[in-house]
Structure 1
Amino acid sequence: MADAKLQIIPLGGLGEFGMNCLALRYKDDILVIDAGLMFPETELLGVDIVVPDISYLVENRELVRGIVLTHGHEDHIGGLPWILSELNVPVYATEFTLAYVEGKLDEHKMLDDTELIEILPGVKFTLGPFTVEPIRVTHSLVDCVALAIDTPVGVVVHTGDFKIDFSPPDGKAIDLHKFAEYGKRGILALLQDSTNVDRPGYTPGEWSVRPRLDEIFSRTKRKLFFSCFSSSIYRIRIALELAQQHGRKVAILGRSMVESSEIAQDLGYIDVPQGLIIHPGQINDHAPENVMVLISGTQGEPMSALSRASVDNHKHARIQPGDTVLLSSRVIPGNEKSIGRVIDHLCRRDAQVIYDDGSHGLIHVSGHASQEEQRLMINLLRPKFFIPVHGDYRNLKKHAELAKNTGVVKEAIVIEDGDVLELDGESAVRSGKVTAGRICIDSGSTADVVQDIVIRDRRHLSEDGFVLPILTINKLTGLVERQPELVTRGFVSGETGLMEAAREVVIKTLENSTAEEKADYGVIKEKIRIDLKRYIQKNTSRRPLIMPVILEI
């Protein structure tokens, strides 16, 4: 098949932030890059997480050779339990990423059934017709890689999430030399992170937050509560170093923070001096000026350690007047209200709250490349085709325009979830769509998939409430034993006597029904529902959910 083409098929992450998942297909082999989740928007009532629809992969399960992960953030690995419950394929990732994956799979009781394979930057491995070389990149998490994938029609580079940092705290800088080597060889296509395409210039390195954080440590007179993303290993390392420098003992609170710091210590990313860490129960054994509490909950998650401490409902974290709370993180869009609520509570406790509002100096830096870094990567690789990934449509569009303006790419192509892009050595053509979309999951369980109709019903209930007409029918005679009762929740009648009149509607419906209709509970329920719906809608312009209930006696 000399005319066989490489297909690039995004299943998530192109058209939204999160849920990153992309398939590469050549003939009868599919390689999957990342398996992320997305946290739900407010209109997805009661949904815990959102994962990509992998119907395409399930339909072609015998062709899937493996899932390769770029790094360990939830928007790249969080969908693994769901995907692996449908596809039992090997997972390839770096050491630190695998540590996160193991914890996640163990939680879902899937660890023993999954083949996990460690990969190393610079060490190639083969999956079917694909030869993959991980290339070290810097990000806000450690042990992150881009992927250079040698295919029969050319080399495809997927950057994963990256920024260009030449001096990260762990000393493992981005390998620009390797990208330059691939650029000299010739790149067919570049898939590049679009997250920060709106930001001009360069993203500051991780060390750039240290001077301002050092100043905060120096000025803080009482306890310091230091909160950052639990996956921000670099930030945790800097906080621990500053605590040691300023003579503060460190208590770590929050499950995710404890797990991340333990993994980072085990793998050598954090070196903790003997005696620095204390048990949370020992916080009160030390003077307030000698304590730092490393605490999770920067996004105002309701049950996080910081949220509970802010309302004085944490066993160990008692925030006193004069304590300082430092939020060394960005606000994830959609979390503004919950974060604002936590900050309000902290202020009520007379704590000094320092967060990234632009007035406190540099206390947080992004992990994503800004425009100049994106241009630099494009100029190094000089790809024939440029495909922006990771972001809303407007981000992808702007990123494509940025790539075109560099003058080094033949064509910049914006595709979205489900699009099939076919490439040979000379052309890139859209060739239809596959099934793609979002799967809503309740309770973090891989089994509890929430269908669209359930979301619709929840929205219906949240807006209009429900009405339960309750009828008591004698099983032997078929007669209605007492007056129908109407129970409402979330439905407010607009006028006095409306519910009394609604009860009369139910009685009239029963009077106008034959004995056979009354004996068939399905029929009589539907008649009552239709008549009551018509009456309520006519008199209130509202449409509550109406669910007749029949009690037999």
Structure 2
Amino acid sequence: MRESLKNPPRLARDTLRITPLGGHGNIGRNMSSFEINGELLFIDCGVLFPSEEHPGVDLILPGLHLVEDRLDQVRALVLTHGHEDHIGAVPYLLRRRSDIPVLGSRLTLALVREKLREHRIRDVDLRVVAEGDRLTIGEFDLEFLSVNHSIPDGLAVVMRTRGGSVLHTGDFKMDQLPLDGRLTDLRGFARLGEEGLDLFMPDSTNAETPGFTTHERDIQPAMERVFAEAKQKLIVTCFASHVHRVQQVMDAAVRHGRKVVYVGRSMQRNMSVARELGYLHVPENTLIDLKQIENYRDDEVVIISTGSQGEPLSALSRISNHEHPVITAGPGDVVLLASSLIPGNENSVYRVINGLSRNGVTVVHKGNAMVHVSGHASAGELLYCYNLLKPRNVLPVHGEVRHLIANAQLAVATGVPADRALAVEDGAVIDLANGRARLVGQLDCGYIFVDGLTEGEIGDTELTDRKILGEEGFISVVAVVNFHANTLVSGPDIHARGFADDDQVFDDIRPELVQVIEKALADGVEDTFQLQQLVRRTIGRWVNNNFRRRPMILPIVVAS
């Protein structure tokens, strides 16, 4: 899949160039760039949440550095739906150029508006579009089709250009019994097939899953059993944007006489927006504030919480660690994880499940009950779309490498030529012209890390240092020398963190360090840097031989 890095040729006139800036090779930071005749258009701008391989990192952005010097040519940013992996990086893009028009559905832009408010970004150009709308922005003729997903108001984007036509599905599935009655527009897909589609860019998340994705409403019996059998506290966790799931929990709470309380800032914010816009129906006298929870018995309340992916600072993680200021969970309580695992989050989620189980909590999750269905099309649905659309070329989006390859193989099985089913990773450059898509280059689309208020200044060296500190520990060695007298004045003082409980373990190496430093001084060494390197090598070799560890070593030699 990954070609050797090469710069793409100069873009020919009336050729559409597509460059994935994220979402091709991982689940997250979805963003694609489209360029033709000197104009650019972006679809989606999301974040990737860090794994254990990225200690201290808050968010990972798409490859904005690849387009940073050309933002004046961007005609619009189009958003397919309101999930964080599709909209979370919008503030970081608008910080670079605040007047880029942002197009999306009503709910999507409402969530974006709240996000921009948190980042104190104002006076932005947000333009609401809906299914059936068609408009032209510069070189791009855009049409929007409804798609069904695990958040309301999802849109697929049809792009017609001089270089060819493109259908980008965003995240979608083909639930024929959706909770909100909003179907994926298969009639629109069929019309595109009749018209002739040059490039299809479909969601790949479930490309390895056979058959069709289960209906959302099919989880209702399992959820009903959980409510019926819960005799004490009941906590339900789901994605903070999963309006449909929250509605199901809300309705079940009413049937079982329980009040509902939101826990988690993102949950409160998103559900407030969804309620204001009419996407979430909250029956009267159902919702209470967290401060009121102490006025009700445990069996009179259901808590809807964030933390379905085991995020360390989420409400559920804090509850499992006895760190939440209000809510506890113990024997007889029930936690329902109404969500699926995002690849890479398995360890974090199981850590929370184990913590809750250790506390005596009954944990119900997708692994032991039918309490969640995916929001993404499975292989059967993708095959249906390929046969309906008959695309000339395919560029799978949104998935790990295995998902992209599986999706491309489905396309080939329906008749798409193998050399026109392009399973490529972030930074690939694809040119579309005369009905043919070709891979013409590969750019380095590395990660941009966000750590607190720092963006993009954390590199591989810093991450490596953090991993060493977290896994191997830290040793400092301080010595004072007198170069005039060629003597060791004091030290070496050795201290450690995350390596050993007692600094006395270094008693064996201290005499050797003294001998090494004094010998170097006697040999005429008058450079503190040389002495520091000598100390580092000596104690590093001793630690490796005796403990098989490679901690970070900080030697400090001071000349008096």
For normalisation by structure 2, the TM-score amounts to 0.90
1:418 aligns with 2:427: yes
Moved more, 161-170 or 333-342: 333-342
Aligned length: 541
Query: Which letter maps to 2:421?
Result: A
1:102 and 2:113 equivalent? yes
2:539 aligned to which of 536, 540, 550: 536
Q: Is residue 2:393 matched to residue 1:385?
A: yes
Give 1:175 deviation, angstroms.
1.5
Q: Are 1:7 and 2:7 an aligned pair? A: no
2:49 to 39, 42, 63: 39
What corresponds to 1:497 in structure 2? 508
Aligned equivalent of 1:91, options 79, 91, 102 = 102
Bigger CA drift: 238-247 or 496-505? 496-505
Report the counterpart of residue 204 of structure 2 in structure 1: 194
Whether the 8 Å contact between 1:54 and 1:83 is mirrored in structure 2 is: yes
Change (3 A) 1:118 1:14: same
TM-score (norm 1): 0.91
User: Aligned with 2:399: secondary structure?
Assistant: coil
Q: In structure 1, the residue corresponding to 2:211 is in which secondary structure?
A: coil
Q: CA separation of 1:320/1:491 partners in 2, compared to 1, >3 Å: closer, same or farther?
A: closer
- Determine whether 1:431 maps to 2:440: yes
CA distance in 2 between counterparts of 1:77 and 1:507 reads 61
The Cα shift of 1:426 comes to 3.1
- 2:275 aligned residue: 265
Structure 1 residues 53 and 342, CA gap change in structure 2 (3 angstroms): same
- 3-state secondary structure, aligned to 1:112: coil
In structure 1, C-alpha distance between the alignment counterparts of 2:382 and 2:278, rounded to whole Å: 30
Structure 2 match to 1:363: 371
Q: How does 1:311-330 map to 2 (within 5 A)?
A: 311-330=321-340
**Which amino acid in the other structure matches residue 225 of structure 2?**
E
1:20-69 deviation digits (Å, cap 9, x = unpaired)? 11111112011111111112232222222211222221132222222111
Give the distance between the partners of 1:339 and 1:538, measured in 2 at CA.
38
Q: CA RMSD in A?
A: 2.6
- Aligned-pair CA distance for 1:495: 7.7
Q: 141-150 or 84-93: which moved more?
A: 84-93
Judge conservation of contact 2:179–2:244 (CA < 8 Å) in 1: yes
Match of 1:459 in 2: 467
Contact 1:471 1:485 (8 Å CA) reproduced? yes
Equivalent of 2:311 in 301, 312, 316: 301
The one-letter amino acid paired with 2:379 is Q
Counterpart CA distance in 2 for 1:149 and 1:155 is: 6
Question: For residues 517-541 of structure 1, what are the alpha-carbon distances to aligned partners after superposition, in whole Å with 9 as ceiling and x for unaligned?
Answer: 4xxxxx42x2012212332344435
| Counterpart selection for 1:406 from 409, 414, 425 | 414
Look up the match of 1:239. Answer: 249
Distance 1:5 1:22, change over 3 A: same
The secondary structure found in structure 2 opposite 1:66 is strand
Unaligned runs of 5+ in 2: 1-10
Residue identity opposite 1:97 in structure 2: T
What's 2:517 paired with? Answer: 506
Q: In 2 relative to 1, CA 311–62 (structure 1 residues): closer, same or farther, beyond 3 Å?
A: closer
Deviation of 1:372 after TM superposition, in Å, equals 0.9
Q: Is the 8 A contact 1:203 1:370 kept in 2?
A: yes
1:326-364 deviation digits (Å, cap 9, x = unpaired): 11111223333332232233234433221111x32x210
Between 1:489-498 and 1:205-214, the stretch displaced more is 489-498
- Contact 1:58–1:87 under 8 Å retained in 2: no
For 2:447 and 2:409, how far apart are their aligned partners in 1? 28
Q: Which moved more, 1:34-43 or 1:134-143?
A: 34-43
Offset of residue 264 of structure 1: 1.1
The change in CA–CA distance for 1:324 and 1:22 in structure 2 (over 3 A counts) is same
Q: What percentage of aligned pairs have identical amino acids? A: 38
> Does the CA contact (< 8 Å) of 1:230 and 1:256 recur in 2?
yes
- Is residue 209–residue 363 contact of structure 1 (8 Å, CA) maintained in 2? yes
Q: Residue 448 of structure 2 contacts residue 456 of structure 2 at CA under 8 Å; is this kept in 1?
A: no
Give 2:476's aligned residue: 468
Is 1:48 aligned to residue 58 of structure 2?
yes
Give, in angstroms, the shift of residue 412 of structure 1: 1.5
**Stretch deviating more after TM superposition (468-477 or 270-279):** 468-477
Letter in 2 for 1:108: H
**SS of equivalent to 1:256:** helix
Q: Among 504, 529, 547, which residue is 2:554 paired with?
A: 547
- Matching of residue 527 in structure 1 with residue 530 in structure 2: yes
- Paired residues of 1:14 and 1:391 also in contact (CA < 8 A): yes
- Quote the residue 1:520 is aligned against: none
8 Å CA contact 1:386, 1:409 repeated in 2: no
Q: Note if 1:74 corresponds to 2:84.
A: yes
Gap runs ≥5 in structure 1? 518-522
Question: Are 2:30 and 1:20 equivalent residues in the alignment?
Answer: yes
